[in-house]
Amino acid sequence: MTRRLSDEEVSRLSCLVAAGEPFTEIARRLRRGVTTCWHTAIRLGLHRPRPHIRRGADFRDAILRLHGRGFSDVEIAAATGAHRQIVGQHRRKLGLSSNAWSDRRKARGDPNWFRPGQLNGRAAKLLASIGQTRIRHRRARGNWQQRMVKIRDDGPPQFRWIPFARHVWESVYGPVPPGTFVVHADGDTLNDDRANLRLMTRRDLFAWQKSVRPKMEAHRLAAVARTARARWSLYRARRAHRLADFPIARQLTLAEPHP
């Protein structure tokens, strides 16, 4: 529970509010929370929060009129005296799209207008062109590596990059049928030579993996056992913590006969 301000703190709060200090600075000087200082000022009548401004039909008509002329949210806010966020909320409620990238702003050479697909700053440095390749690392699988290639700029991000081996196979033999996988015959995932690629179903892939890595099943079972031991240890620790908080439940549990 938050401790209320003392008489000395209230007097200092009154002086700071009368001086026009922001509540973040007031809270820092009083070493109290911003919400505590704000609610105390409202309760004492020292501060009155800004009332919510309700926009009527005239405001909506102004948005419709200015939006039809190609004005953006910032320009409509400047013309109506409202905040840009309020203008955007009413515009979306009216079912209107944004004019931030309209031809009107493009024609007048607005510096805040961005062409479709144009990126600046860090985004432009991180943008990879179509056809660019990179190496994907997965340390959880023993530092497993795979070469990826970018094939598109639009669509979901997870579909913009595909394995380079799949790209090589599709460029030579056509699309990969559903339910099949492109596999490296020698086991080297970075060897994307056309002669090293094989097309396998899931069953053939499992059989091939067992022949190439005989200990794969043992490693998989060991990983499952480690996961089960970790989960059970976490369950026992949480159960012991719960029983420690309730001694009666702990006594009843200990009194139960073991099967």
Higher pLDDT, 65 or 137: 65
Specify if 1 maps to a domain: no
Does residue 219 carry a pLDDT above 50?
yes
- What share of the chain has pLDDT > 90, as a percent? 5
When mean pLDDT is compared over 77-86, 103-112, 192-201, 244-253, the highest value belongs to: 192-201
**88 and 101 share a domain?**
yes
**30 and 97 share a domain?**
no
Structure confidence by residue, pLDDT tens digits, 110-167: 554 445 555 555 666 667 778 888 888 876 566 778 899 998 877 777 888 899 999 9
**227 and 241 share a domain?**
yes
Last residue in a domain, options 107, 122, 143: 107
User: The domain containing residue 89 runs over which residues?
Assistant: 57-107
Please compute the mean of the pLDDT values over residues 24-40 and round it to a whole number: 87
Average pLDDT, the chain: 78
β-sheet with 144-150: strand ranges across: 133-138, 144-150, 161-163
Look at the chain and report how many structural domains it folds into: 4
Query: What integer pLDDT is reported at residue 141 of this predicted model?
Result: 61
